[in-house]
Amino acid sequence: MRKISVIGVGYVGLVTAACFSDLGNTVIALDVDEKRIAGLKRGEMPIYEPGLKELVQRNVNAGRLVFTTSYQDALKDSEFVFICVGTPSAVDGDADLKYVEAAAKSIAENMQAPLIVINKSTVPVGTGDWVAEIITEAQSKPIDFWVVSCPEFLREGSAIADFMSPHRTVLGSLHREAADKVAQLHLPLRAPIVITDLRTAEMIKYASNAFLATKISFINEIADICESLGADVKEVAAGMGFDPRIGKHFLEAGLGYGGSCFPKDVKALAFMAEEMGHEPRVLNSVMTVNSLRRGMMVNRLKNMAGDLNGKTIGLLGLAFKWNTDDMRDAPSVDIAEALSKEGARVRAFDPVAMDAAKEILPKVEMAKDAYELAEGADALIVVTEWNEFKNLDLERLRDSMRQPLILDGRNIYLPEQMRRLGFTYQGIGRGYNGIKTEIEVRPNAA
Query: Which residues does the annotation mark as catalytic?
Result: 261
- Minimal distance, residue 318 CB to ligand UDX, in Å: 13
Q: Which residues bind ligand UDX (CB under 6 A)?
A: 7-13, 31-33, 36, 84-87, 99, 102-103, 121-122, 152-156, 209, 212, 216, 250-252, 254, 257-262, 320-321
Nearer to ligand UDX, 99 or 423 (CB): 99
Nearer to ligand UDX, 36 or 64 (CB): 36
State how far the Cα of 336 lies from the Cα of 360, in Å rounded to an integer: 11
Nearer to ligand UDX, 89 or 403 (CB): 89
Using the Cα atoms of residue 55, residue 60, residue 64 and residue 65 in order, give the sign of their dihedral: positive
State how far the Cα of 446 lies from the Cα of 19, in Å rounded to an integer: 41
- Minimal distance, residue 130 CB to ligand UDX, in Å: 15
State how far the Cα of 202 lies from the Cα of 172, in Å rounded to an integer: 8
CA dihedral 245, 248, 254, 258 (to 10 degrees): -70
Q: List Cβ neighbours of 174 (8 Å cut-off, separation of 6 or more).
A: 146, 147, 197, 198
Query: Under a CB-based contact definition with an 8 Å cutoff, are residues 228 and 432 in contact?
Result: no
State how far the Cα of 334 lies from the Cα of 266, in Å rounded to an integer: 19
First to last CA, the chain: 47
- Minimal distance, residue 393 CB to ligand UDX, in Å: 25
- Minimal distance, residue 409 CB to ligand UDX, in Å: 10
Check residue 376 and report its DSSP letter.
Answer: T
* Other Cβ atoms within 10 Å of 427 Cβ, number: 26
Nearer to ligand UDX, 22 or 265 (CB): 265
Nearer to ligand UDX, 149 or 173 (CB): 149
State how far the Cα of 162 lies from the Cα of 173, in Å rounded to an integer: 23
Residue nearest to ligand UDX (CB): 10
- Minimal distance, residue 81 CB to ligand UDX, in Å: 12
- Of 136, 147, 161, 163, the residue nearest 202 (C-alpha): 147
- Minimal distance, residue 1 CB to ligand UDX, in Å: 25
- Minimal distance, residue 112 CB to ligand UDX, in Å: 20
Which pairing describes strands 26-30 and 3-7: parallel, antiparallel, or unpaired? parallel
State how far the Cα of 264 lies from the Cα of 268, in Å rounded to an integer: 6
Nearer to ligand UDX, 21 or 121 (CB): 121
Q: List Cβ neighbours of 103 (8 Å cut-off, separation of 6 or more).
A: 7, 8, 83, 85
Nearer to ligand UDX, 178 or 213 (CB): 213
